Amino acid sequence: MTPSPLDSDAHPHRWRALLLIALAELLGMGVWFSASAASPRLQELWGLSASETGWLTGIVQLGFVVGTALAAVLNLADLLPSRWYFAASAVFAAAANAALVVADGYGTALVLRFLAGVFLAGVYPPAMKMVATWFRSARGLAIGTVVGALTVGKATPYLLRAFPSLGWQEVVLVASAGALAAAVLVGVGYREGPFPFARRPFAWGLIGQVARDRPVRLAIYGYLGHMFELYAAWTFVSVFFEDFFVSRGYSDAAGQARAGVVAFAMIGAGGAGSVLAGRWADRLGRERITIWAMAVSGCCALAMGWLLRAPVWLAVAVAVVWGFAVVADSAQFSALVTELAPAHAVGTALTLQTAIGFLLTSFSIAAVPHLRDAGGWPLAFGLLAVGPALGIVAMRRLMASRP
């Protein structure tokens, strides 16, 4: 029997639905960083500079922005059943990613990574909507759990890279296999929850209304500060630890393997951070949790670059704390926008937030290699702390403006 709206989260299948969606995100999102995990081999194979290597991830961000915008304009999330939209997108993302192993050069690889980003726009955002149809009062925890799962999923290619028996092609193909498994899991097992969203078409005219709404604008500003740091940190933590271990006399292969393990631990720690932050935000307030998370992650960004000669335990500990905090607040920015935006403009507000945020990440990813070459890791990672610092200012203003 379907529960009435008064039953809120009483549906007996909600936790099973959350588990299914979280597992699908974990399996499907390995595609995102598969080329980054394979980048040392690709750099050798194609003679790439550090900046060119960074664009193997940066171009995914741009593809994701394009995919999100196209999905919004074409109303794909409303026109297509969620499970088939997710499943088809995961299959196409897996195919674009797998084709990397037969790419004939850097240019082809960039095209394939861009396409992977476009298709991932049908894997990441729809999952947030899917889980929200099953949860009302515990939505912060539920969305945080999904974000935690996809964070661990993004980290898995780095863990695979740590196994010497696996070549870069195997790392890429395993990520594609995970996306295919996610497609099957959702296509076969997912059903819409008891609290579906009303279908509203995307309208460009609403952008101006969203931009003029000060609380929504401040929430988006906070999200942009968070995003400026997040993906650049995820992309280059493994490069930092390659330098870290090689400077201690390890061979390139051994250094890369150890760096992959640390990168997995750093990014994977965000899984726990997202779940716990979701639970805390439901009780203590979303603005407060985002401020705390950005304060910790910003301090870690400032410290990390100075630890190239530090004891291993200290550098790894700071990296794990950074990984925990840097994504802990991510889901709460989206939750804030859904709470603050006018009901008829929520879709537009979320699309605007996501598109600008991921577009910004491509610039910070591109900047880090140049700053490392110019002033070393303290300058490169130190720049990333600017994002959370400005984000904290925005969230403090938002918190002061609300009862």
**Whether residue 187 sits in one domain with residue 60:** yes
Last residue of a domain, which of 192, 212, 241? 192
Which candidate, 98, 68, 348, places its Cα nearest to that of 200?
348
In a domain, 135, yes or no: yes
pLDDT at residue 78, as a whole number? 65
**Whether residue 140 sits in one domain with residue 33:** yes
End-to-end CA distance of the chain: 39
Provide DSSP, 251-320.
-HHHHHHHHHHHHHHHHHHHHHHHHHHHHHHHHH-HHHHHHHHHHHHHHHHHHHGGGTTS-HHHHHHHHH
Cα angle, residue 69 at apex, residues 64 and 71 outer, rounded to 5°? 95
In a domain, 108, yes or no: yes
In a domain, 197, yes or no: no
Last residue of a domain, which of 162, 192, 222? 192
**Whether residue 391 sits in one domain with residue 243:** yes
Neighbouring residues of 311: CB distance < 8 A, sequence distance ≥ 6:
none
**Whether residue 135 sits in one domain with residue 20:** yes
**Whether residue 221 sits in one domain with residue 179:** no
In a domain, 4, yes or no: no
Q: Is 167 helix (H, G, I), strand (E, B) or coil?
A: coil
In a domain, 5, yes or no: no
Which candidate, 331, 226, 319, places its Cα nearest to that of 267?
319
The C-alpha atoms of residue 106 and residue 196 are separated, in whole angstroms, by 43
**Whether residue 165 sits in one domain with residue 111:** yes
pLDDT at residue 212, as a whole number? 82
**Whether residue 242 sits in one domain with residue 174:** no
Which candidate, 45, 67, 43, places its Cα nearest to that of 56?
43
Last residue of a domain, which of 159, 192, 225? 192
DSSP 365: H
Domains contained in the chain, number: 2
Neighbouring residues of 361: CB distance < 8 A, sequence distance ≥ 6:
58, 61, 227, 228, 230, 231, 232
Domain that residue 262 falls in: 203-403
In a domain, 281, yes or no: yes
Q: What is the pTM of this model?
A: 0.83
**Whether residue 219 sits in one domain with residue 347:** yes
CATH number, domain at 18? Answer: 1.20.1250.20
The gap from C-alpha 355 to its chain's centroid, in whole angstroms, comes to 13
In a domain, 20, yes or no: yes
In a domain, 207, yes or no: yes
Q: Mean pLDDT of residues grouped by 10 in the chain (403 residues)?
A: 46 84 94 90 88 88 90 72 90 96 93 96 82 74 85 90 85 95 93 71 69 89 96 93 92 88 92 87 88 97 96 96 94 83 72 86 92 94 97 95 76
The answer to whether 355 and 64 are in contact (CB under 8 A) is no
The C-alpha atoms of residue 285 and residue 358 are separated, in whole angstroms, by 25
The C-alpha atoms of residue 351 and residue 65 are separated, in whole angstroms, by 9
**Whether residue 169 sits in one domain with residue 32:** yes
b/e per residue 369-400 (b: at least 16 CB within 10 A): bebbeeeebbebbbbbbebbbbbbbbbbbbee
**Whether residue 277 sits in one domain with residue 153:** no
Which candidate, 54, 83, 93, 89, places its Cα nearest to that of 175?
93
**Whether residue 172 sits in one domain with residue 220:** no
**Whether residue 226 sits in one domain with residue 132:** no
Q: Give, to the nearest 10 degrees, the angle between helix 330-340 and helix 214-246.
A: 170
Q: Which helix (H) or strand (E) holds 52?
A: helix 50-73
